[in-house]
Amino acid sequence: MKVTQVKKKQPPKKAKRDPNSEVSIKQVKAKKTKNTKTTDPNESLNMQPVTSPEFDLHDSQWFLNRELTWLAFNRRVLHEAEDDRTPLLERLKFIAIVSGNLDEFFMKRIGGLKQQIGAGMRELTLDGRSARQQVTECYAEVRDIEARKEHSFQEICALLEDKNILIERYDELTPKEMKLLREFYYANIFPLLTPQSIDPAHPFPFISNLSLNLLVSLRYPKSKQNSLVRIKVPVDAGTPRFIRIGKGEHFIRLEEVMMNNLDMLFPGMEVVSCELFRVTRNANTEKDEDEADDLMEMIESELKERKFAPIVRLEIGSGMEPLHRGRLAAELELDEATDVFEVPGLLAMRDLFELTKLDFPRLHDVPHHPIDHPQLQTQRNIFHVIRDAGAILLQHPYESFSTSVERFLREAATDPKVRGIKMTLYRTSRQSRIIDALILAAHNGKQVAVVVELKARFDEATNISLAERMEEAGVHVTYGVVGLKTHCKVIMVVRQDYNGLRRYLHIGTGNYHADTARLYSDIGLLTCDQIIAEDVTELFNFLTTGFMLKRKYSKLALAPRMLKKALLEKIERESNLHISSGGGAIQFKINALEDGDVVRALYRASMAGVKIDLIVRDTCRLRPGIVGLSDNIRVISVVGRFLEHARIYYFHNGGAEEYFIASADAMKRNLEARVEVLCPVEPPELTKELRILFDTHLADQRSAWDMLPDGTYVQRTPAEGNGAGSHRLLIARAEKRVKENMKKKKVKKAGK
């Protein structure tokens, strides 16, 4: 997708044509249909949707493509690397992020599309594209992003060189530096290398996913016959990609050191050429759970299969011999014309994360230290604090994960009045304090039950290891419901209070992962609401048995059974209330808007006159601003220091406002194939905080991008003196709350 960029002090540019769009903006007009027989999914919900005969809401032209809109998000992320307002090492970080994102895109999305092509699937997407058409258009977008990424990288390197931080070329080193590097290489890298011949006597070697490799052409002196050898660059064996030269901040790439010391591996041989390549394998290797006798064994089998999964992309360094390029493509069973990506500069730029850790404060964002939530700045028992407050809203990373969620579990593990702990676990770190607390609780004789999602993509191995560790400690571990991923984030602590058993809860939008809690923007709710607690008890009974029938929920809405229906009903209710009394308003803050039914419901609400604000981080199928269809809808995307990850849903509801937090995005997979939770936030002091969060993002003039009807985005240009983005403003607000709380304490103490 071509993203229009508006840099500082430049007038807005005209948005370019987006490949997502099958029609130009001028062509985006009401498409009249007569006697439409299409069945609306809302009819099964006993609704009477507001619509117009001028628009067929099942017409593909009203939907953008999921893959292309996700690539457009990466263009916005890359813009942070291009923006001179971003500190230099942070700019390098955004290049690494985009590189890692594109790797996963090929592993998951392109891999899945290629499977569809291989299976002969002819089904079109909501936007009317075939799998093959999507791959073709995605490839064009990726090549353009890669070119922009390389240009930005060269620009940043030049600026870093001015700070005496540089990645050197081997031929620029002094003889002394070459000698020291050769000694380092021989002692620390050479023993890790395993050259593998490629000839009739040696089959083509296995190439591991995302590995960087040298393809070396050799021959004996005076011989005219060349031989090929593959050598894996051992970055994933603990060796850094960028090796420091001397005591300063000068580095050289590991592969360059290897390429210039090949005589150690091949003494007496003549090196004809040495070229770089890298492969990406398909990560879609899921099996049918219904046929599995043991889920853990099935996942372990999937991981083994993923290691040997088909290759979906070959990246090569610029200037590779055409013969070598063709041979690699043939051996890897790829189409040389389409599946081979020639990279003009650095391959595997995700490794730049190594350099982003350099200790240069002025080249980084101002350090951010999450504050302790004002109500948790006390040594009192955390359950007493929650009981007195009724509910506490947590905003990560502005507020500390360690002194809130981790503290909640730590105290539960040691509190003699706590009888049991139940928890869902989707992603966490290998060295997790969460796991330590659960194991400690089991050792202390408490009943601990954990629902571990073994199928969390790319965390399967970690979750298997943690599940085994917990089981050995006496934790009751289950793996959720067959056929559904358990994606909700819920903890329930059962405690013997002065008046009987009371259930204390944490419900969140993010994962129980301390590292991402410092980088992702998420919401959590600590509460002892009795009705929500009863619902959560039903949820865990469902998760540990799989029995769904006749379970009743009073406040929570669960996917896959209820959540989508609840969202559609609330959108429709907003339309009807607006028609009768005006003032209709809907606001969503989500990562992705992909579900076709939700998009259609929002279109109908817009046509009824409801004002809709959508803060959507990445994928968005909906086209805003189309006259008569979506001119009441505004879509923005916020891209900045933190990854926006919170899911919040708001409905004006005729003045009886409703706020919800959720683990689910408005995506078909979340709403129909996962266990998710939509939870109301009711206390006025907490809804006030969510209102401030919405308003701060909607008013952002630094990090917000406005979406145009054709799917392109334009970054907002701040007015003079108004350049602070929402992340900076929310950091400042969190710090202000701490100061205000300290003042209140001083006043209270002085009063005594």
Catalytic residue positions? 487
Helix (H) or strand (E) holding 628: none
Q: What is the distance between the alpha carbons of residues 84 and 363, in angstroms, rounded to a whole number?
A: 12
Q: What is the distance between the alpha carbons of residues 646 and 659, in angstroms, rounded to a whole number?
A: 13
Q: What is the distance between the alpha carbons of residues 553 and 542, in angstroms, rounded to a whole number?
A: 12
Distance set, CA 469 to CA 159, 457, 474 (Å): 47, 20, 9
Q: What is the distance between the alpha carbons of residues 590 and 619, in angstroms, rounded to a whole number?
A: 10
Q: CB atoms < 10 A from the CB of 220, how many?
A: 12
- The answer to whether 198 and 228 have CB atoms below 8 angstroms apart is yes
Closest by Cα among 93, 252, 244, 249 to 167:
252
Helix (H) or strand (E) holding 165: strand 165-167
Closest by Cα among 230, 229, 249, 275 to 92:
249
- The answer to whether 188 and 239 have CB atoms below 8 angstroms apart is yes
Quick one: DSSP state of residue 89? H
By the 10 Å C-beta count (0-12 exposed, 13-18 middle, 19+ buried), 716 is classed as: middle
> From the centroid of its chain, how far is CA 470?
27
Q: What is the distance between the alpha carbons of residues 328 and 412, in angstroms, rounded to a whole number?
A: 56
Q: Rg of the chain's alpha carbons, rounded to an integer? A: 28
How, if at all, do strands 585-590 and 648-651 pair? antiparallel
> From the centroid of its chain, how far is CA 102?
12
Distance set, CA 386 to CA 404, 514, 585, 632, 735 (Å): 11, 22, 32, 40, 22
Q: What is the distance between the alpha carbons of residues 208 and 221, in angstroms, rounded to a whole number?
A: 32
Contacts of 522 (CB under 8 A, 6+ apart): 395, 396, 397, 508, 509, 510, 645, 646
Q: What is the distance between the alpha carbons of residues 560 and 669, in angstroms, rounded to a whole number?
A: 9
Beta-bridge mates of residue 636: 615, 706
What are φ and ψ of residue 264, in 5° steps? -70, -40
Q: What is the distance between the alpha carbons of residues 456 and 302, in angstroms, rounded to a whole number?
A: 12
Q: What is the distance between the alpha carbons of residues 195 and 193, in angstroms, rounded to a whole number?
A: 6
Quick one: DSSP state of residue 16? P
One-character DSSP codes across 280-330 = EE-------GGG-S-HHHHHHHHHHHHHTPPEEEEEEETT--HHHHHHHHH
Contacts of 131 (CB under 8 A, 6+ apart): 113, 114, 116, 117, 121
Secondary structure of 661-674 as H, E, C letters: EECCCECHHHHHHE
Specify the residue for token string 């994606």: 487
- The answer to whether 283 and 458 have CB atoms below 8 angstroms apart is yes
By the 10 Å C-beta count (0-12 exposed, 13-18 middle, 19+ buried), 663 is classed as: buried
Q: What is the distance between the alpha carbons of residues 309 and 745, in angstroms, rounded to a whole number?
A: 60
Distance set, CA 197 to CA 202, 206, 331, 478 (Å): 6, 12, 14, 47
Quick one: DSSP state of residue 17? P
